[in-house]
Amino acid sequence: MNKKTIIANWKMNKSLAKSINFAKNLIKNYYETDNNIVICPSSICIHDVLKIFSDTNISVGAQNCFWADRGAYTGEISAEMLHEIGVEYVILGHSERRTYLSETNEIINKKILNSLENNLKVILCIGEKTRQNNNINSIFTDIEECLKSVPKNSFNDIIVAYEPVWAIGSGVSLDPENANIICENIQEFVENKYDFCNIKTIYGGSLNPENSKNFLNQPKIDGILVGNASLDLNKFIKIISK
């Protein structure tokens, strides 16, 4: 099986103490794999989690960043700041930020461009809102608008996370074979649109230890973005150890 990327999005969960405890116990109980493992804690926990994983092959990502390096943007954190402390990845365009904070593709595009300029690898989240609205063209539109003006030499640092919004936190995931087809369609779109044939595509949405292997075994799915199941140490170890 090809090397996969498994990303944990803790969202607004785990205090600093709980984040440190999880990270230390993950190292104690984790059998190293060839897969890429990325942990995305809350911003106030990133620095401490980074120190714990510093001598391991586990990477750390952020759940968001701003589109400028510095300025009068109260409460925001820049990609420059994240890169300086050792963060490698950043999640952008997550449906929860689109829904609750009204983030648009234009805003996400600005964040992507700035993140890439600051040498962060971007995890771009896209996906249809309802199970009935599965028009692949709407996904292509989101990708096109989010990746506007991104230079071709930066596509190696972009992961497209296909997350059907209706599946996030619902306990109902998409059929792995259908997710594989959509990921393949995304890869073909990027190849035709941008002349780049190696874009990484991963799946997210109600993943757990029982179904994750079925997604990881799909040939066109390069990894998974795990939400709720990544908060439970035993569940997450089962997922990454498969």
Partners of 230 in the β-ladder: none
- Output the DSSP codes for 173-225: PPPHHHHHHHHHHHHHHHHHHHS----EEEEESS--TTTHHHHHTSTT--EEE
Catalytic residue from among 80, 103, 128, 163:
163
**Structure confidence at residue 31 (pLDDT):** 66
Per-residue confidence (pLDDT) for residue 148, from 0 to 100: 97
The pLDDT profile of the chain, 242 residues, written as one tens digit per residue, is 579 999 999 999 999 999 999 999 999 987 677 899 999 999 999 999 999 999 999 999 999 999 999 999 999 999 999 999 999 999 999 999 999 999 999 999 999 999 999 999 999 999 876 555 557 889 999 999 999 999 999 999 999 999 987 766 656 668 999 999 999 999 999 999 999 999 999 999 989 999 999 999 999 999 999 999 999 999 999 999 86
Closest CA to 173 of 123, 127, 139, 222: 127
Q: What secondary structure does DSSP assign to 17-54, as a single string?
A: HHHHHHHHHHHHHPPP-SSEEEEE--GGGHHHHHHHTT
pLDDT, position 174: 82
pLDDT of res. 242: 65
Residue 33 vs residues 86, 161, 202, 217, 240: alpha-carbon distances, Å: 22, 21, 18, 15, 8
Catalytic residue among 80, 83, 94, 128: 94
Residues in the chain: 242
- Residue 163 falls in the annotated catalytic set: yes
Q: Report the pLDDT value the prediction gives residue 135, as an integer from 0 to 100.
A: 72
**Number of compact structural domains in the chain:** 1
Q: Which of these, 61, 23, 67, lies nearest to 42 by C-alpha position?
A: 61
The phi-psi region of residue 236 (left if phi > 0; otherwise alpha if psi is between -120 and 50; otherwise beta) is alpha
Residue 182's domain comprises 5-240
Question: For residue 147, what are its two tokens?
Answer: 């990746």
The pTM (predicted TM-score) of the whole model is 0.94
Q: What CATH number should be reported for the domain holding residue 166?
A: 3.20.20.70
